Amino acid sequence: ETGIYYLGGVGLFLSANDLQMGRGEPIKDTARVLSRYLDGIMIRTFDHEDVIELAKYADIPIINGLTDLLHPCQCLADMQATRSYFGDLKGKKLVYVGDGNNMAHSLMYAGAKMGMHVVIACPNEKKYRPNEEVVKNAVADAEETGGSISIVEKTDDVASGAHVVYTDVWSSMGMESEIEERRQAFAGYCVDSKLMSKAAPNAIVMHCLPAHRGE
Ligand code: NVA
């Protein structure tokens, strides 16, 4: 909303309670109606398919403001911020420590496009590892830019020479019932001074926020 305002526009924040979707209106109807009023929609939701459905029936641009699968605007801003520290990002190492979630996915995509070497350190169980199709796509992007994507389980030397060390919460929004199980699964996946001691001297630490200190 702040960004749109600074650019001379007006942003409307519509929560589920402000929309007919909140009482079960099909997404396609909301898409058709809002397309007549607005110049674009940023949607922040859980199910990625809802964004696809909205984009299919809207005839204005649809921007993904967060789904369980991807968080592209966050990573676009992260790349902009990272570039302000390091200039050209080609060849720089970005390490993400934690859940192989929406953040891991979008960082792989963004890092690959910038020619970065992206390393995801996460537990080996399928539910904590990144989506295989996303990894495959990001690897293909990285091959074109000279970057690379790798997924590792161990964190011992993972930050070695890293320029960017990134992490996220262990239980994303909507995963409240898994908090205890995840706290155990991710116990070894902390960004702490030990992990950072191997990073490049000018390394930066990033977090999409909200951060849970102690994790
Ligand atoms: N993985 C987090 C990102 C929050 C910006 C979540 O989906 O809750």
Residue 121 CA to ligand 1 center (angstroms) comes to: 17
Q: Which residues pair with 121 in a beta bridge?
A: 97, 152
The average pLDDT across 65-84 equals 98
pLDDT digits (tens, 9 = 90+) for 31-67: 999 999 999 999 999 999 999 999 999 999 999 999 9
120: β partners: 96, 151
Ligand 1 closest atom vs CA 101: 1
Model pLDDT for residues 91-142, shown as the tens digit of each residue? 999 999 999 999 999 999 999 999 999 999 999 999 999 999 999 999 999 9
Does ligand 1 have an atom closer than 6 angstroms to the CB of 206?
no
Q: For 169-213, write each residue's pLDDT tens digit.
A: 999 999 999 999 999 999 999 999 999 999 999 999 999 999 988
Pairing of strands 204-207, 117-121: unpaired
Chain position carrying tokens 């239980």 = 171
Q: What stretches of the chain adopt beta strand conformation (E)?
A: 41-44, 62-66, 93-97, 117-121, 148-152, 164-167, 204-207
pTM for the full model?
0.96
Choose among 137, 60, 138: nearest CA to 96: 138
